[in-house]
Copies of this chain bind each other. A is one copy, B any other.
């Protein structure tokens, strides 16, 4: 039986949440991971999350099947095209890849998991710099969720408060990758692409791939995943 403090970590299979998992491990938490099958266009995220959870020896990895397609409204869960080759510097408006209330739904499930696992620490890899167009990646949103969470649950209303921990919120992608590399994160088993090929190769052109590539470049680290061949980029 573990005497570590249990933490619940939202694990998408991407590089941010993998880095967060490594941080929670470094900080001595018992690792409980939560992933979602939410009607993503491809199942590669879940597969990556499973690989990463096994790699880190998490004590419990739950994959909740949830239905975010029911309302429509996002390129990540519906037939809207994922934009390619977008200039991210112009990305002031909320992007079409924004899924309505996604982080709120994810954190709500994490809160249920935390209550059952008796965990006062929920980790999420949100980032306010690279996802400035997403309202639910901002620090003021996270603080408001944390306050609500402490009023919502038996766990939060009895004794020690619940903390929503966002260790990446003010880091650039390059800083995240540099930190993860220093913690030994194996980025070869992570996935970031919004629109991978049937064989799971990243497109290299969607917002997520562009951010990832620029991050590795900025950190001076080679990205260990393979990208689909592209005549423009080659």
Contact = CB atoms under 8 A, between A and B. Distances in A.
A148 B152 contact: no
B154 A135 contact: yes
A169 to B, nearest CB: 14
Interface in A33-71: 62-68, 70-71
A interface, over-half SS: helix
A111 to B, nearest CB: 4
A4 B153 CA distance: 35
Contacts of A94: 154
Given A144-B148, A147-B148, A156-B135, A112 B101 contact: yes
B112 A138 contact: no
A71 B156 contact: no
A115 interface: yes
A216 interface: no
Chain A interface size range: 35 or more
A100 B111 contact: yes
A135 B153 contact: yes
A113 B71 contact: yes
A67 B70 contact: no
B72 A116 contact: yes
